[in-house]
Chains A and B, each alone.
Chain A
Amino acid sequence: MFEPRTKSKRMTSRRMAPTSHTLLVDPFDIMLHGTSDGLQSLQNRFSLWLRGLTGPARFVTWQLPADLSPRINQVVTSALNTENGQRQALLMEYRRHYERLQSEAEYQRAICGLAFWTERGTSTRALSRGVSAALDTVAIPAKWPALFSGDYYLAAPNRQYTNWHLAPSGEGSHRPFYAMLASYQFQPTIWDFGRPMAQLLRTNFPLALCVDIAKTWTHNEAINEIENVVQAYSVHLATLRGEDSRSLKKVNDCRQTLSELNLGDALHDVQIVIAVAADDLTTLKQRVNHIMDAMKPWFLLRAEIGEAQAQAARFFAAQSTTEIAVPHTTWPVTSRELALLFAPLGYRKLSGLEGTLRGEAAGANYPVFHNSWRDKRATHEVWVGVSGYGKTFALNCLLLRQWAEENVPFTLLEPMGHGAHLAHALNIPWYVMSAQHTCLNPQDVMFPTLVEQKSHTIRLYETLLGRQLSGDQKANQERALLGEALELLYSGFDDWRTITPEIAPLTETVCDVLSGLGDKEHLLRIACDLADEIAGLCTGRGPWAAFVNGPTNMDLSTRNKAQPQVFSFHEMEQDPIMLAIAYTQVLSAIRRDSLSDESPRIIAVDEVYRLMRHPSLLDFLIEAAKTFRTRRKKLVVVDQQMTVFLENKARLVFENCPIRVIFNQRQGLHVFRDDPAFQHFNAQHLDIIANLPRFHYLFDVQDEGIWYLYNRPSDGEYARFSNT
């Protein structure tokens, strides 16, 4: 019946025993499948995967109450350790924010595990890849966490708790008591992804839930088995004089099951086992009663009796069902029904507390932290969203949090002038690029090698000229001549890398040198024409003379690189060429500094389209994205439409950004539908993107998951940035 096997049988079976494989599965957010079509498709996907099961399997969810105290302690420790008074004040603000979040909610932490028993030779890694693909979430081969630690003994019913239970023994006997509940009857009601599993997971006490799939019947066996039952009932009903509604229902159920099996479903024998923990027996009784009562409409649970109570704990380890000596009261369900028992996978709870607070999960209200610095490299981010939906606000919050909590300084480049808020909040210099007052010399040294430096300066001239110096014969010759002129000028210094902005060659000097180059008549003419063209634009009364023909008068040196910096470009907003030059010079200075160390820094570029529309600057941005990453500089590129990042070469920037932060994109939804980069988005994701309210966004981290978040600010953040 349920006796454990005898020694000889066990030895025989061990030779033939299937191998166990355990996986850990990252729960996803079912909110992202929230329409009826989305949920149907999810059920179909789970069901299709379950049809393919051949051996026993088990799905386990461990859930325990959690709080933010580790994070709060971390913030307090950082505040005590920092010598920067401003950071200290910000850290205490964040401490209050976390304490407030904690007081307003009950958090739980949950992880899910899957176990399979297969023939020898099956790879756990292959199984995990199969599960990842089928369930569309991360699954990795890993040990399961232990349900409890230390020793426990079987305790008989007593006055406080009238069922068998497990009590702690030995050291640390203040550990919780455990009760094991097993299902024995599934009620003929409608189950969905919300009920009853989500209800169970709403409880705020430690519990573990196991869905044990003891057997998956082969198609023919299952059909034969059920047809036999139908046949027996048909005979019974034919000979019955009175009414037997239960038999009629049974025949209907059998026929329905047969129809589902004939549509491809498999039949599985399933039992649910729940482990409940409590610090004392009175609480244990309350919790057990609560679970039994709450689940009664869907399935009936019994408290395991005697040794079965102790044996049931083995359901939470990788022990085969046949080796667990409990009364196996399994229930036959079809794949589409069993799919709904995997609902806990769709209820993501509070995860790790490391990293930066990215927001609160919409609907579930648990804070989501993400550590994008953990692999000792930076992970770039693309942010998109139409105006007014909270991009800038969220960016300011992110930069402030990273600076305060992780001591990561930032450089913000923005064209609207709202950088003032951050500059004032942190009491740092606000660098405003102005067409009237700023001068940026294209000959400033920004690169470590002469070839790169020449190439950079030529790119700046291309931007000023509005055409590329390559592609046809004349343009190539112009490029060569300009390069020669620059080389001549830089070679005039002993060590050209030590050229400071005060002594860097001016644009008019470049024109003078350029006009004298060319050893043949036609080259001389080309050089003169190019020098005239540049001089006409950039010297004398040229439109950009004041901007580029003079020594740089803005501090782009490395002196303040440990501090946050804010560059605003709103005062040159009307002129795209000046804007592009300004962006490039600042980015070049940042790039130059990046090469000198590997300390983390965020470089946030708002309205990046202004940079990308200049082909030569786009090349620069692509190259910078690669360089910054390896030097632990995180690039955050922000714009209104995702299309900006997907066209032609701009895509290379996009592909270097594994984190995508997507605010409302009602206007440009087609790219999410058509582009292969977003094939992992389902219809519900697109629906969410089209209808994201203000301050809500999708946080899509490649290979990790998608979160639907609300950027809930702290009081301090709200006070500082509310008018952005």
Chain B
Amino acid sequence: MAAQFKSNVRLREEKGFGSISMKRLIFSGTGAVFLFMGSRMTPFATMSLPILVGSFILLLMLSGSRGGLPLWQRLVLGWRARLLLVASENSTGTASQLVLALNLNTNDTYLRSKDIFQNQKADLRSKDSQWAIYSDVCEARKWEAQQDGKGHSTRLLVVDDFDMPVPDLSGKED
């Protein structure tokens, strides 16, 4: 009747330093060293040590997880969505050009119930089904009135706010 849930047994999070996992430390350290090495080959060679420290800290921060997502991913998601919103408001502006360049789609910020919720394969009413779902009681009664005397075994389950469309009354077989 009960179960003790376990930690994420597929995830490796070996202890690193404090609350920072070994994985993040290695990632940030490697990233910072690459930047350090790169900076040594540029005119900023004198700044390479601060770059090493700064990028290490920055990478640690960006890989810090909140809500199950690293900070960089949260930032990307947020910025991208804001860009799409701006682009959707002005289809000729810079934001729109940027959206096109990044191969994004402003339609992703709009949800159309018809597109999302009506592509299910199964029929609402099959020949021997016992239920029908309606958006309101009036629709259910209308259907009952139409079925009067036809001897269907129907259990009416009225779902008010989830906006189920009135079904096809022809009773197609699944």
Contact = CB atoms under 8 A, between A and B. Distances in A.
Contacts of B112: 151
Interface stretch (B27-35, B44-52, B68-76, B92-100): B68-76
Interface in B1-41: 1-15, 22
Contacts of B68: 182, 184-185, 300, 302, 327, 329
Contacts of A185: 8, 68
A153 interface: yes
A429 to B, nearest CB: 33
Contacts of A111: 133, 157, 159
A107 to B, nearest CB: 12
Nearest to B163: A149
Interface residues of B, number: 72
Interface in A138-164: 138, 140-154, 156, 164
Contacts of B155: 352, 374, 704
B121 A318 contact: yes
Contacts of A302: 66-69
Contacts of A704: 130, 155
Contacts of A190: 2-5
B7 A206 contact: no
A529 interface: no
Contact of A247 (B1, B15, B69, B126): B15
B116 interface: yes
A401 to B, nearest CB: 19
B162 A64 contact: yes
Nearest to B65: A184
A332 B10 contact: yes
Contacts of B158: 70, 109, 352-353
A156 B9 contact: no
A314 interface: yes
Interface string A158-191: 0000001010010000000000001011111111
A66 B160 contact: yes
Nearest to B88: A153
A40 interface: yes
A377 B111 contact: no
Contacts of A334: 3
Contacts of A186: 5, 8
A657 to B, nearest CB: 17
B7 A307 contact: no
A190 B126 CA distance: 41
Nearest to A176: B161
B10 A225 contact: yes
Contacts of A21: 121-122
Contacts of A147: 113, 117, 162
Interface stretch (A248-256, A538-546, A569-577): A248-256
B169 interface: no
A332 B8 contact: yes
A145 B7 contact: no
A184 B120 contact: no
A89 interface: no
B2 A191 contact: yes
A461 interface: no
A449 interface: no
B171 interface: no
Nearest to A113: B120
A708 interface: no
A375 B151 contact: yes
B96 to A, nearest CB: 16
Given A143-B120, A314-B116, A64 B129 contact: no
A439 B74 CA distance: 90
Contact of B152 (A62, A354, A375): A375
B4 A306 contact: no
A20 B68 CA distance: 29
B77 interface: yes
B118 interface: yes
Given A20-B121, A190-B2, A318-B121, A254 B113 contact: no
Given A250-B7, A332-B9, A317 B116 contact: yes
B164 interface: yes
B15 to A, nearest CB: 4
Contacts of A9: none
Nearest to B164: A145
Interface in A301-334: 302-303, 305-311, 313-314, 316-319, 327, 329, 331-334
Contacts of B85: 154, 156
A261 to B, nearest CB: 10
A23 B121 CA distance: 11
Contacts of A16: none
Nearest to B81: A306
A125 B117 contact: no
A253 B3 contact: no
A24 B174 CA distance: 14
Contact of A317 (B11, B119, B149, B157): B119
Nearest to A44: B1
Given A156-B85, A318-B120, 16 more contacts: A24-B133, A66-B160, A141-B123, A141-B174, A142-B131, A151-B111, A190-B2, A192-B2, A298-B5, A307-B80, A318-B119, A340-B2, A374-B155, A375-B154, A376-B148, A704-B155
25 contacts: A21-B122, A39-B1, A43-B3, A66-B160, A111-B133, A125-B174, A140-B126, A140-B130, A141-B122, A141-B174, A142-B122, A142-B133, A147-B162, A152-B111, A153-B110, A184-B68, A300-B68, A306-B82, A316-B117, A327-B69, A337-B6, A351-B157, A353-B137, A375-B152, A375-B153
Interface of B: 1-15, 22, 66-69, 73-74, 77-78, 80-82, 84-85, 108-113, 116-126, 129-131, 133, 137, 140, 144, 148-165, 174
